[in-house]
A and B are shown apart, each in its own frame.
Chain A
Amino acid sequence: MDSEEHQMEVSLNNDRITDLPDDLKCNILARLPLKEMVGTSLLSRMWRYTWASIPNLVFNEKYFMSIRELVRFVDMVLLLHQGPICKFNIYCLDFTHVPIERWMLVLSRNEIEEITIRCSLSYRWRICSCFFSIQSLKKVYLRNCTLMLPHVFCGLKHLQTLNLFACTISDDDLEKLYLLQCGCNLELPLKFEHLKELSIQLTLHDQNEASVAFFLLQNAPNVQYLSILNRPEGPDDFMPIGNLWDLNMQKIALEHLKFVLIDYRGSVTESGLLLVKLLLSAAPLLEKVHIKNYKKDFEFVKNPESLSSPVSTLRNRLKKRYLHTELRLVRLIGSVYTLWLDLYLSFRFVLSMNSRELEISNLMDCDKHQK
């Protein structure tokens, strides 16, 4: 194809689209459905292999009839692809048993920057060790994965944004983490030094899932934006997680954390309160805190202090480590009951020391009688 290509007189006809620089052509191609994208190879010699160099690969199950077809398609695209792959997205919520491991292996050999994997909730993908060796990663979204700690983990040094949805850690690795934490002054090297944005969706009282959050917070000291969404499932068996929190308390330092969003999606539990406690004692430069606990049927309470005084668990446990002079806005949205009121009073206390007001948006009450 090469020798013939050079003889072509491109400017003779009015074919402007072929004259576009390759990266712009790829931009148009990337907006076509995959099959039509490959179909452009029939247009002319200049177009024959253009599709194979598009840097952003997005695979969506909706264009495929079966899992088999999808898998084969991804395999072939990765096989025939040339040049760098910057982005790899795969959406397959309906299909299970997707061989992500082998695709990861291919991607780890490219300078991939962005990976999005949204798999079916009934299929748990185990993140293999080659994933942790992809040093070029900048942005990651994972859903429903089990993290397998590699034997040697040097960290993902360029990672900036990390989104985890219902990710967990295997029992063996949990043990390993515990050992690591109990091992006195074992200094951890920086694992995610450029991580700025971290969103985690997890079941707060699930030990394995919470450990993932701890592991990340411990290793990402430069996080600026943190969002934690709770998926309330099962009863809150508080004790084991309580230990985990206390173990971690001294080892987490989030000196760059500015914005925190916590959504309990249900009532605040002990482990939920401990999370707030941890963040307050680890992040001196907090600026904004939003905490929600949505419940459907609520009733507006204008004066929360008129409620009966709660047992002040959080306030008592809160070590006055930092003054939080930067804290400007605390927004509590949700329904009022014992633990929630506790949160309210604690924040009012912190803010009153800096003579700032606590903002309560729609502080609502649905079960103030519950005790």
Chain B
Amino acid sequence: MITLISSDKRKFHVLEEVANQSLTIRDVIEDRRGRRRADRIILVTNINSKIPEKVIVYWLRHFLMPEEIAHASMSHKKAEKLKKWEAKFFDTDIDTLNDLILAADSLDIPSLFDGACEKVSDILKNRSAEEVGEISKIENEFTHEEEEEEIPSENAWVWRNEFA
């Protein structure tokens, strides 16, 4: 059993085998192998408590079928089920997704990282700049001239075929 401590001092006890899905944690455990129990506590300072909960839920779901995922030999039905579960798991607000991306990056969990990035890009896809700005609360501090003239002319090549 190892203990994760989030930035707001909450403790999470996780089975070592489960937490091993994070390559960062696996390395830390490997480094500290054979030491006392007190050393089996890992501080995760850049993550608040809401995220470890989600990460652990994700780990537990994937822990049930690690080998099958690795070898891509999962039955069609199971794969379908996992896909549905992941869709539900990632169906959350963009802030949580951002935190998940950060967590997955620092803990080195490739599948979680990819899933969260994919979801964010799905949210941003097929939307105008204003819509994206609204959803992700990006503050547009461009001046009127910049927005109306400078940037459109800078990027005109993308949308208009000016050489044609």
Contact = CB atoms under 8 A, between A and B. Distances in A.
Contacts of A68: 161, 164
Contact of B129 (A35, A40, A69): A40
A28 B94 CA distance: 12
Interface in B109-164: 113, 117-118, 120-121, 124-126, 129, 132-133, 136-142, 147, 151, 154-155, 157-159, 161, 163-164
B117 A16 contact: no
A13 B138 CA distance: 8
Interface in A1-32: 8, 13-21, 24, 27-29, 31-32
B124 to A, nearest CB: 6
Given A15-B139, A44-B139, A31 B121 contact: yes
Interface stretch (B30-38, B55-63, B77-85, B97-105): B97-105
Contacts of A32: 121, 124-125
B124 A36 contact: yes
A24 B97 CA distance: 12
Contact of A20 (B98, B141, B147): B98
Contacts of B125: 32-33, 36
Contacts of B161: 68-69, 72
Q: Which residue of B137, B140, B155 has the most chain A CB atoms within 10 A of its CB atom? A: B155
Nearest to B157: A76
Interface string A151-195: 000000000000000000000000000000000000000000000
A39 B158 contact: yes
Nearest to B163: A72
A38 to B, nearest CB: 5
A47 B121 contact: no
A90 to B, nearest CB: 18
A43 B138 CA distance: 7
Interface string B36-80: 000000000000000000000000000000000000000000000
Given A31-B118, A32-B121, A36-B124, A13 B137 contact: yes
Contact of B120 (A17, A18, A39, A43): A17
B54 to A, nearest CB: 15
Contacts of A27: 101, 113, 117
Nearest to A7: B141
Given A28-B117, A36-B125, A38-B158, A44 B102 contact: no
B16 interface: no
B133 A43 contact: yes
Interface in A44-84: 44-48, 68-69, 72-73, 76
Contacts, number: 94
A78 B93 CA distance: 34
A41 interface: yes
Please tell me the size bucket of the interface on A: 35 or more
B95 interface: yes
Contact of A45 (B132, B141, B164): B141
A72 to B, nearest CB: 6
Contacts of B151: 41-42, 48
Nearest to A19: B98
B121 A14 contact: no
A17 B155 contact: no
A68 B157 CA distance: 12
Given A36-B125, A40-B129, A15 B138 contact: yes
A209 B113 CA distance: 42
Contacts of A40: 124, 129, 132
**Highest count of chain A CB atoms <10 Å: which of B98, B132, B138:** B138
B142 A15 contact: no
B157 A43 contact: no
A67 to B, nearest CB: 12
B136 A44 contact: no
Nearest to A68: B164
A71 to B, nearest CB: 10
A271 to B, nearest CB: 34
Contacts of B141: 8, 44-45
Nearest to B118: A31
Contacts of B132: 40, 43
A76 B19 CA distance: 45
8 contacts: A8-B141, A13-B139, A17-B94, A17-B120, A39-B129, A40-B124, A42-B129, A45-B142
Interface of A: 8, 13-21, 24, 27-29, 31-33, 35-36, 38-48, 68-69, 72-73, 76
Given A27-B113, A41-B155, 10 more contacts: A13-B137, A16-B99, A20-B101, A28-B120, A31-B118, A33-B125, A35-B158, A36-B124, A39-B129, A72-B161
